[in-house]
Amino acid sequence: MSLRAILFDFDGTLVDSEALHFQSWMRVLAPWQVSYDELAFCDEFSGVPTLKSAEILNQRHKLNTQAQLLAEQKNRLFVDVAATMLPSLMPNADEVLKLASKQYILALVTGSTREEALPVLKHYALDSLFACIVCKDDVTHPKPHPEPYCKALSLLGLKSSEAIAIEDTHTGLSSATSAGLKTIVVPNHHSKEQDFSQASYNVENLQAAWETLKQLA
């Protein structure tokens, strides 16, 4: 494998943002007096695209509104929540990104919007490590569709055989696999029960992912 680039997911892979997504959704659902246990909600919706989550919640609770409006409201609220409670980095994220950037081209491929992702990256001074950043608002079809990863490969001028994706959910894994990429899955405590049978490698944390990359090199 002639590895030249590593394509990283964002939420749940590099940043621990599930609590912020949960709080944003609870604010959206508050007018309907709908509430959830945080752990149960995050376990169910970890990695699920925002619009798909909105469709499920709209139908389940008979909210009688448009799922697109719910999704847009949630995205706006996430930016507000993140401004007051910045998500923490996942263990070893900073170290692994800086080590990887010395040997490989890095890209970020995320289901978050630019308004959600970029302030976090800039706060931790990580944005400059990525040769390209593909967000939800850069594509027509977000994850689990392969378009986000295909776009990243196109921007980098690379073939799928020259890159590997690091993901934490079945949704992201499906997107990367459909784009022809090999994958390293790093499940988090919300996604650990998801189906990762398509993954090339399944490891416990980002440090283990880096050790796997060193072996591939």
Report which residue type is found at 79: V
In a shared domain, residues 94 and 194: yes
- pLDDT by 10s per residue, the chain, length 217: 589 999 999 999 999 999 999 999 999 999 999 999 999 999 999 999 999 999 999 999 999 999 999 999 999 999 999 888 889 999 999 999 999 999 999 999 999 999 999 999 999 999 999 999 999 999 999 999 999 999 999 999 999 999 999 999 999 999 999 999 999 999 999 999 999 999 999 999 999 999 999 998 7
In a shared domain, residues 73 and 173: no
In a shared domain, residues 73 and 92: no
Number of domains in the chain: 2
In a shared domain, residues 184 and 205: yes
In a shared domain, residues 94 and 196: yes
CATH code for position 204: 3.40.50.1000
Specify the pLDDT at position 1: 56
In a shared domain, residues 61 and 134: no
Residue 205's domain spans which residues? 5-16+88-216
Determine the Cα–Cα distance for residues 73 and 61; give it in Å rounded to an integer. 17
The answer to whether 117 and 133 have CB atoms below 8 angstroms apart is yes
Q: The pTM is what?
A: 0.92
119 preceded by cis ω (within 30°)?
Answer: no
Last residue of a domain, one of 84, 106, 134: 84
Contacts of 16 (CB under 8 A, 6+ apart): 87, 88, 89, 90, 188
Specify the pLDDT at position 183: 98
